[in-house]
């Protein structure tokens, strides 16, 4: 792998996204250009409806743009079919959502293990990885608990464990602290910082300025356009360059891993 400065992990070129047709048409993204380097920690802010989640869905290969080009690790994902997209997504990306998206009446441990079940990771290995991920988020002793027996912050930490059990190079989080109190918010942010220091690229959508402040770079959207970008891939990341080499050694998880809480083929709904 080349150094991050020559090789943005995310290269977005004139991306547009139009939902619907005719009178009901919504131009959610109107020409986005971005480079994000391996190991950057990026916050995305902007008013409700400015296109943040739409952009994240495209970056995360959950949806495809209407126009423009998106290169993920140099690969033009607009040329991939649904299956190939799901493979890329599941190998490289861990998702975290505001509402946790845990499966109810299913233990924390099983929630973390499930994506690896879909991926046919052998039982002993997936149990080891699920436990390690739960320990990493400080919940090694709560694996038996059901989601409704855990606090919001703990549920989000289970969701983070699920996202990282597959060892993704990139974490995408859509308002991950939106439903949390300040203590839990702090815990989640600490976890993200740790993941970033390991060399993982972290992208967090947030409405909270103090959450955004923890990132090395702020991108602000308005009406489907980037109106502010404090960073440049060659300069502005937290621990990124030092960690870039380490990132190159983050082994991809096996093919076909299901993205956290997402059905494997959910990718292109809503176009």
Ligand X SMILES: Nc1ncnc2c1ncn2[C@@H]1O[C@H](COP(=O)(O)OP(=O)(O)OP(=O)(O)O)[C@@H](O)[C@H]1O
Reported as half-sphere exposure (CB side, CA atoms, 13 A), residue 7 has a value of: 14
Say how many residues touch ligand X, by CB under 6 A: 13
Report d(CA 9, CA 145) in Å as an integer.
Answer: 37
Out of 50, 53, 156, 185, the only residue in the binding site for Mg ion (CB under 5 A) is 53
CB distance 152 to 181 below 8 Å: yes
Per CB under 6 A, does 49 bind ligand X? yes
Per CB under 5 A, does 54 bind Mg ion? no
Q: How far is the CB of 160 from ligand X (least distance, A)?
A: 20
Strand-pairing partners, residue 35, are 11
Let me know if 142 is exposed, middle or buried by CB neighbors in 10 A (0-12, 13-18, 19+): middle
Tell me which residues in 218-237 interact with ligand X (CB under 6 A): none
Q: How far is the CB of 145 from Mg ion (least distance, A)?
A: 29
Q: What is the CA radius of gyration of the chain?
A: 18
Q: How far is the CB of 61 from ligand X (least distance, A)?
A: 16
Residue whose structure tokens are 């919504």: 26
Task: Round to the nearest angstrom and report the end-to-end CA distance of the chain.
Answer: 34
Q: How far is the CB of 19 from ligand X (least distance, A)?
A: 3
Out of 74, 255, 263, 270, the only residue in the binding site for ligand X (CB under 6 A) is 270
Per CB under 6 A, does 206 bind ligand X? no
Out of 21, 23, 48, 141, the only residue in the binding site for ligand X (CB under 6 A) is 48
Residues that bind ligand X (CB under 6 A): 19-20, 26, 28, 46, 48-54, 270
């Amino acid at each position: 792998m080349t150094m991050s400065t020559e090789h943005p992990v995310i290269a977005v070129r004139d991306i547009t996204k139009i939902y619907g047709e005719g009178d009901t048409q919504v131009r959610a993204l109107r020409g986005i250009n971005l480079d994000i380097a391996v190991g950057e920690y990026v916050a995305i802010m902007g008013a409700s409806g400015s296109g943040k989640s739409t952009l994240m869905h495209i970056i995360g290969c959950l949806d495809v743009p209407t126009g423009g080009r998106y290169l993920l690790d140099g690969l033009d994902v607009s040329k991939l079919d649904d299956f190939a997209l799901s493979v890329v997504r599941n190998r490289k990306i861990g998702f975290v959502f505001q509402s946790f998206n845990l499966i109810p009446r299913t233990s924390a441990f099983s929630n973390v293990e499930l994506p690896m079940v879909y991926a046919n990771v052998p039982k002993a290995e997936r149990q080891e990885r699920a436990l390690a991920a739960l320990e990493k988020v400080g919940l090694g002793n709560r694996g038996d608990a059901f989601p409704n027996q855990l606090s919001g912050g703990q549920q989000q930490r289970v969701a983070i464990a699920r996202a990282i059990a597959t060892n993704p190079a990139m974490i995408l989080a859509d308002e991950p602290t939106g439903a949390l109190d300040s203590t839990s918010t702090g815990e989640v942010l600490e976890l993200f910082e740790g993941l970033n220091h390991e060399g993982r690229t972290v992208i967090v959508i947030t409405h909270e300025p103090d959450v955004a402040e923890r990132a090395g770079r702020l991108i602000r959207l308005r009406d489907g356009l980037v109106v502010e970008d404090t960073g440049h891939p060659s300069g502005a990341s937290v621990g990124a360059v030092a960690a870039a080499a380490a990132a190159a050694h983050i082994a991809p998880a096996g093919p076909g891993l299901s993205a956290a809480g997402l059905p494997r083929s959910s990718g292109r709904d809503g176009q």
